[in-house]
Amino acid sequence: MSGKNIVSLEHIESKIYTINGVQVMLDEDLAGLYGVETRVLNQAVKRNIERFPRSFCFQLTESNLENLKSQIVTSSWGGRRTLPYAFTEQGVAMLSAVLKSERAVKMSIQIMNAFVAMRRFLSTNAQVFQRLDSMEIKQIQTDKKLDRVLDVIESRDIQPKQGIFYDGQVFDAYVFINDLIKSAKKSIVLIDNYIDESVLVLFSARKQGIPLNILTETISKKLELDVKKHNEQYPPLTVKAFYKAHDRFLIIDGKTVYHFGASLKDLGKKWFAFSKMDISTADMLKEAGEMV
């Protein structure tokens, strides 16, 4: 076990359910992960019941259990005489203290990581789930319809309108910008006074043949060379001098404008905000004149 995971993060995530709006794991699944019998786990909890308030642990109702079974194709809970107990993230952390085993401690750390990963997933896709609610997802009967819903999540078609990336979130910021670039179907315009080869690398992800126009204050000899090399493999790219802008803007398909508080070359290096602007791009493109 030293230096290695006991089980995969994905396996643990598959055992996290949402009951009454709270993410929980069931006693039977936790017992399997900890390597003890469900009876032994629940007895340890009862002996230390003062450590497990309802916000840490609660017993499912018949309604909870039926709801849960309807969401899961296979279930091993049918033969139980008693209703399962559900443990929240705090309850899982407390379990490692009452079970008092090396495996319990190490497994609890992995389970905490799984809860964090699940929260991040739910937060990232919050807008998707809001739309699913409005569609009354329970009415979706066929696999084909469910596949379309999952495809939306996988393709990241729904982008957040505003937010903040903190220092160190280099990868998260990169993925966000990368997805915006990939979403372009007709054209991309970038207004940014600080361009280097790392910015051009970002735009190599755009669909083949999508024209990219960059407006920037200074065009150095090195940038000219980088643009030439980029165009040899990922045309068409045009870079022109533009002195009217202070902030950074990304215009997708001539209709969607994102404003950035930092240059794209500095993604994730320091705090910066972004926002999708609900404005017409006509005025911006007109101000840029024949540049784009």
Residue 37 within a domain = yes
User: pLDDT (tens digit, 9 = 90+) per residue, 85-113?
Assistant: 999 988 988 888 888 788 888 888 888 88
Residue 93 within a domain = yes
pLDDT recorded at residue 6: 58
Which range (66-80, 89-103, 213-227) has the least confidence?
A: 66-80
pLDDT recorded at residue 2: 42
Tally of domains in the chain: 3
Domain shared by 92 and 192, yes or no = no
Output the average pLDDT for the chain.
81
CA 196 centroid distance within chain: 28
User: pLDDT (tens digit, 9 = 90+) per residue, 240-251?
Assistant: 999 888 889 999
Residue 113 within a domain = yes
Three-state SS letters, 184-217: CCCCEEEECCCCCHHHHHHHCCCCCCCCEEEEEC
In a 3-state reduction of DSSP, which class is residue 23? strand
Domain shared by 170 and 279, yes or no = yes
CATH number for the domain harbouring residue 104:
3.10.260
CATH number for the domain harbouring residue 175:
3.30.870.10
- Higher model confidence: residue 184 or residue 103? 184
Q: What is the dihedral of CA 137, 139, 143, 145, to 10 degrees?
A: -70
Domain shared by 221 and 139, yes or no = no
Q: Which of 244, 200, 206, 205 lies closest to 225, judged by CA?
A: 200
Q: Terminal CA-to-CA distance of the chain, rounded, Å?
A: 59
Residue 186 within a domain = yes
User: pLDDT (tens digit, 9 = 90+) per residue, 37-63?
Assistant: 999 999 999 999 999 999 999 999 998
Residue 143 within a domain = yes
Domain shared by 100 and 142, yes or no = no
Residue 3 within a domain = no
Name the residue range of residue 211's domain. Answer: 162-291
pLDDT recorded at residue 231: 93
